Amino acid sequence: RPILEVNQLKKTYGKKGTLYTALENISFEIEKGEFVGIMGPSGAGKTTLLNILSTIDKPTNGQVKIGGKEITSMKDNELSHFRRHELGFIFQDFNLLNSLNAGENILLPLALDRKKIDFMEERLARVANILGISDILEKYPSEISIGQKQRISAGRAMITNPQLIFADEPTGALDSKSATELLQYLAEINLKEDATILMVTHDAFSASYCNRILFIKDGVLFAEIIRNGTRKEFFQKI
Ligand code: ADP
Ligand code: ADP
C-alpha cells in the first residue's frame, strides 16, 4: 500500500462572505521510496498542503493516510507522538538548536524518546556517514557553514527512519554549490535508506532531483510529470 494517500482534500480559510478556497479536490498517492516534488507559483497552496500532510494544519474536508493511518482525525496528543516517530522535517531555515552540537541536534528525536546510547551512536554514525558530516558532529551551529547546517537538519529528519520526510524549500537559503550538494545528499538518503521524501520547491533545478513532480496552481492539482531518463532530460521538461 502507498505510504501517503490523499483523498479529495479541501481547505478553505475565513467564513461565509469572505470564504477563500486554498485547496480543492486534491487527490494523489506516494509510494515508499519515492522522491516527490511539489511545484507551483506563490499563493498556489503549497504551504497549506504541506502543513496539512505534515499534521500541523487540518483540512476542511478530505482524508490523508500515512502508512495506512488516518491522520486528520487523530487527537493532539497522538499527533505529536506520530509526528516525532513517523515524520521528518527539513525547513528552509534549518531550525537547529544553537546550544546543542551537530551530533546532539541530529540525535534529539531519539534522545527525547530515551533510546539506548548504543543504538543512538550506531544510528548517528550511519546517518553522518551518508551525509558526509562525520567530522563535524562536535561542532556547534555557529561554527559550521550553511550547507553543513542543512545537512545536519537532514540528519535530524532521517534519524528515526520516518515514514515520510517533508522538505519545504530546503535549498532556499543556500548558495548554488551547497544547494547542489544538499540535493545530492537527499538523493542518497532516498536511495540508501529507501526514504520517502516530499519536497516543496519553486526551482526546476531542485525539482529535477525528484522522480515525480506534482504541479499546483490556484489550489488545484493540475499536472504531474514522472521522470524517465536522465536528470538533465527531466530538467528540460520542467
Ligand atoms: P504557497 O505556499 O503556494 O505560496 P500558501 O499555501 O501559502 O501558498 O497560500 C495559498 C493561499 O491561501 C494564498 O492565497 C494565501 O494567502 C492563503 N492563505 C494561506 N494561509 C492562510 C490563512 N491562515 N488564512 C487565510 N488565507 C491563507
Ligand atoms: P510562502 O513563502 O510559502 O509563499 P507565505 O508568505 O505565503 O509563504 O505564507 C507564510 C505563512 O503565512 C504560511 O504559514 C501561510 O499559511 C500564512 N499565510 C499566508 N497567507 C495568509 C493570509 N492571507 N492570512 C493569514 N495567514 C497567511
Pocket of ligand 2 from Cβ distances under 6 Å: 42, 47-48
Instruction: Calculate how far, in angstroms, residue 58's C-alpha sits from the geometric centre of ligand 2.
Output: 15
Q: CB–CB of 231/37 below 8 Å?
A: no
- Residue nearest atom 16 in ligand 2 by C-alpha distance: 48
Cβ–ligand 1 distance for 222 under 6 Å, the answer: no
- Residue nearest atom 7 in ligand 2 by C-alpha distance: 43
- Strand order of the β-sheet with 197-200 is 87-90, 164-168, 197-200, 35-39, 212-217, 220-226
- Residue nearest atom 10 in ligand 2 by C-alpha distance: 47
Cβ–ligand 1 distance for 19 under 6 Å, the answer: no
Can you tell me which atom of ligand 1 is nearest the CA of 200?
Answer: 2
Pick the ligand that lies closest to the CA of residue 38: 1
Q: CB–CB of 224/34 below 8 Å?
A: no
Instruction: Calculate how far, in angstroms, residue 38's C-alpha sits from the geometric centre of ligand 2.
Output: 17
Candidates 47, 63, 77; CA nearest to 8 is 63
What single-letter amino acid sits at 108?
L
Query: How do residues 105-119 score in pLDDT, each as one tens digit?
Result: 999 999 998 999 999
pLDDT < 70: residue spans in the chain: none
Phi, psi angle pair for 135, to nearest 5°: -90, 5
Query: How do residues 38-65 score in pLDDT, each as one tens digit?
Result: 999 999 999 999 999 999 999 999 999 9
Instruction: Calculate how far, in angstroms, residue 71's C-alpha sits from the geometric centre of ligand 2.
Output: 23
pLDDT given at position 15: 86
Give the 3-state secondary structure of residue 117: helix
In the structure grid, which three cell numbers stand for residue 149, read together?
Answer: 547546517
Give the 3-state secondary structure of residue 205: helix
Cell 479536490 -> residue: 25
Distance CA 220, CA 216 (A): 5
- Residue nearest atom 15 in ligand 1 by C-alpha distance: 43
Residue 77 burial (C-beta neighbours within 10 Å; 0-12, 13-18, 19+): exposed
Cβ–ligand 1 distance for 22 under 6 Å, the answer: yes
